[in-house]
Amino acid sequence: MLTKKGKYGLKAAVHLASLAPGASVQVAEIADANQIPKKFLDVILGELRNAGFLTSKKGKLGGYRLAKPPEDILVGEMIRALDGPLAPFPCASRNAYVPCEDCNVAHCHVRLLMGRVRDAIGTVLDTCTLAEMRDLDQDSLQSFVDYI
């Protein structure tokens, strides 16, 4: 499940993707425009910066900007940087697998189905760039879903 941190991070990234290339913006402006608590957004943007998605500059004329073009940023990578693996349960994760205490991994139908859920989520998020997300509307969303 996408956490508030993931949701707010995506909203902030789309905000940054909507700026002119190379433009930066203060945290307070992003927070106000997207109804995100500023202190929480400070933490989120710091994590995205540390993961290489953003750059920042301190000072009155500073702020955050994308580290690379939005066409080169996959939404799935950003979600993983903020929320961790995409799998609904740790036992269904490819990269952060943790067995459940209450089941037999070889015969667990819940794990098998959640693996399919993980793959479906990954297919959508790992084929959508930040630029595509920025440009989504209801019609383009349906075209994107039909494409995958």
For 89-147, the pLDDT digits (tens) are 888 888 888 878 887 667 788 888 888 998 999 999 999 999 999 998 866 656 655 65
Say if CB 16 and CB 93 are below 8 A apart.
no
Residues 8-63: tens digit of each pLDDT:
999 999 999 999 998 999 999 999 999 999 999 999 999 999 999 999 998 877 89
Task: Say which residues have a Cβ less than 8 Å from residue 19's Cβ, sequence separation at least 6.
Answer: 25, 65
Say if CB 37 and CB 11 are below 8 A apart.
no
pLDDT of residue 105: 65
Q: What pairs with residue 129 in β-bridges?
A: 74
pLDDT band at 3 (very low <50, low <70, confident <90, very high): very high
* DSSP classification of residue 20: P
C-alpha 97/C-alpha 111 separation (Å) is 11
CATH 1.10.10.10 maps onto the chain at 4-66
pLDDT band at 82 (very low <50, low <70, confident <90, very high): very high
| Assigned architecture for domain 4-66 | Orthogonal Bundle (1.10)
